[in-house]
Amino acid sequence: MIDSIDRIGMEEVPKKNSAILIVDDEESLRLTFKMFLSREGYGPVSVASSYDEALDLIEKQQFDLIISDIVMEGSSGIDLLRRVKEIGRKCPVVMVTGYPNINSAAEAVRLGAFDYLAKPVKKDNLLRTARMALQQFSLHKENEKLTLEKERYQQYLETVFRSIKDLVVTVDAEMMIIDMNKEAHKWLEEISPGTDPKGRIDELPFFAEIFGFDAQTVLKNELEVPEHRMEFEFEGHDVTIFRVSAAPLLTSDGHFLGVVLVARDVSRLEALEQREKRIGLHRLIGSSRAMQTVYTLVENVGKVDTTVLITGESGTGKELVAEALHAESHRRDMPLIKVDCTAIPENLLESELFGHKKGSFTGADRDRKGRILSADGGTLFLDEIGDISPMMQLRLLRFLQERTFYPVGEDQPIKVDVRVIAATNADLKSQVMAGKFREDLYYRLKVVDIILPPLRDRYDDIPLLVKKFIDRFSKRLDKAINGISDQALGQLVKHKWPGNVRELEHIIERACVLCSGATITLANLPLELQNQEELVEIDHAVLANLQARNTEWSDNEEERILNTLRLTYGNKAQAARILGIDRSTLYRKIRQFNIDLTQLELSVSGIPPAP
């Protein structure tokens, strides 16, 4: 057995921290074996003189190798080997005896002994056997680790697969269904109760109509089918619109396995958005569709204990998203430790994150535990991760892989339970392509990514944000400011906001400082905002609508639609954008409420309604 392992040519297993137990009732042999192994660099090496003493040590600590005599007073080494296997210890056991025989050897092999040495044991044979046993055990542990990581990753994927609100179905190259998520099961059962969710996808009701053609197309050319929309009608329901897409199901090395099919019920999604539209989540503010997507992601991902990468321009609120993710997680009662990677000098960042031992470098006059250890049990937020050096990228990658780290000047690893959230305003993918950011670290961080929209893509949220900031700064400044004029709000809406929400916050703080009454006016804004030229797409109706969002409109859906149509002079496209719905949905609502646009009293008389 040893000869075959020796020929494999495996890398030498680190001798330090290789825990070995020697069991023999002869003191001279115990001490000799310990001396041989310790001088070779193995350790710690423990000894036991009996079965009971050995079993007590084995139950208290983990060993990487056990070397036991077979013949001892009382219980034998075979009894110890049998007990080691019963209690689930997986380390190799080498049996030693001065009286080898067929029966004892067969029993030792049957119970899983790594090898069998006959006395007198030569030093070279002992060291060679120990080396091979530890190498095999190291391979076994590495394989178990990889298997565990694979199982955890599979569990994560299955969790996401089950929780996603889209219909997701996978089929093999023969059109046979491999799996489907909970939402797909629900739809199939609703439309065709009792249908077996197996077999060919083109033979199942509903799935055949929604997915059949796309599945055949991908199987034929192994190319992605772009997203398109399909109508589906079943008894007792309105026509349902699905967004459908299909893509090849590939292995990591590009081997084609089948097709991934995805469908989203757009009709239900729009209805859900109208019913559950929120104006904020934790410290995040906004009612726009873009922010609704962010809220949904935060709620879903927050509950799954995985690494998240938040991207977006400076000032979009990445730190607030990190706080919201922490608040939504099971770690909410543990620390949220924030690290701004650009605010700490490069030569101090390693010590700041990983800590250091006293005397490890000039100025290290005391032990420091570091931010990672401070976040143990909670969340570590690494802001502006795109600016760290290659050396720090490597250290962070190792930490994310192992969940252990070495403080500066320490040779003992520390294991922590930390959820990592990273953020950047840089294009990490471009940095990877340019060789400035490690690709393996990029994908370790981007298990799930949340992209924050710039403020110029969510103008409808400006009145909500303005109101929030006015409330905050009026209290801080002890002023009775309670609103903003139409003209001032109009100029805010026209601005391009290169600094995003942070820029808006600073401008409202400045306006509150300068404001002498109860209303922020145009004069309180910076000169560059006061003198902006009119933008073509911003008119009085949109501004009036935005101003109206500072007050509560009626909960009656028909009245909200009528108000919006009046404010936009009957322009349905603009009204749909303000309401946050598709134009087709607005048309359907107009028919539902029998709204006659020709009879609608518009905000400005004499202007005909748009077609």
One of 3.40.50.1820, 3.40.640.10, 3.10.580.10, 3.40.50.2300 is the CATH number of 2-142, namely: 3.40.50.2300
Q: Where are the domains of the chain?
A: 2-142, 164-275, 283-453, 456-530
pLDDT at 21: 92
Mean pLDDT of 256-277: 70
Q: Positive or negative CA dihedral for 313, 316, 319, 325?
A: negative
When mean pLDDT is compared across 126-130, 318-322, 408-412, the lowest value belongs to 408-412
Question: CATH number of the domain at 283-453, please?
Answer: 3.40.50.300
pLDDT averaged over the chain? 78
List pLDDT tens digits, range 416-426. Answer: 888 889 998 88
List pLDDT tens digits, range 284-315. Answer: 888 787 888 888 888 888 888 888 899 888 88
List pLDDT tens digits, range 185-207. Answer: 888 887 777 777 788 888 887 88
List pLDDT tens digits, range 92-138. Answer: 999 887 765 656 666 666 777 888 787 888 888 889 888 888 888 88
> Tokens 């005397």 — which residue?
359
Residue 419 identity:
R
Cα-Cα end-to-end distance for the chain: 87
pLDDT at 5: 37
One of 3.40.50.170, 1.10.1200.10, 3.40.50.150, 3.30.450.20 is the CATH number of 164-275, namely: 3.30.450.20
Beta-bridge partners for 497 = none
List pLDDT tens digits, range 58-69. Answer: 888 889 999 988
Mean pLDDT of 319-339: 90
pLDDT surpassing 80 at residue 608 = no
Residue partners of 362: CB distance under 8 A and separation at least 6 = none
pLDDT at 8: 36
Q: Which residue has the higher pLDDT, 608 or 573?
A: 573
Residue partners of 368: CB distance under 8 A and separation at least 6 = 351, 355, 356, 407
List pLDDT tens digits, range 507-522. Answer: 999 999 988 888 888 8
Helical segments of 15-76, H only: 27-39, 51-60
Banded model confidence at residue 582, pLDDT cuts 50, 70, 90: low
The reply to whether domains 2-142 and 283-453 share a CATH topology is yes
DSSP-assigned letter for residue 546: H
Over the Cα atoms of the chain, what is R_g?
Answer: 34
Angle (nearest 5°) at CA 46 between 41 and 51: 145
List pLDDT tens digits, range 354-371. Answer: 876 775 666 666 777 888
Measure Cα distances from 91 to 6, 61, 133, 148, 261 in Å. Answer: 19, 12, 9, 18, 46
- Backbone phi, then psi, for 123, in 5-degree steps? -55, -45
When mean pLDDT is compared across 128-142, 223-237, 442-456, the lowest value belongs to 223-237
pLDDT at 546: 46
pLDDT at 320: 92
User: Taking the C-alpha atoms of 163, 167, 172 and 176 in order, what is their torsion angle to the nearest 10 degrees?
Assistant: 110
In whole angstroms, give the CA distance from residue 579 to residue 551.
Answer: 15
pLDDT at 321: 92
> Can you say whether residue 312 is alpha, beta or left, with left for phi > 0 and alpha for psi between -120 and 50 degrees?
left
Name the token pair of 336. 């949220």
pLDDT surpassing 50 at residue 595 = yes
Beta-bridge partners for 18 = 43
pLDDT surpassing 70 at residue 500 = yes
pLDDT surpassing 90 at residue 323 = yes
Question: CATH number of the domain at 456-530, please?
Answer: 1.10.8.60
Beta-bridge partners for 405 = 414
pLDDT at 299: 86
pLDDT surpassing 50 at residue 547 = no
pLDDT at 536: 35
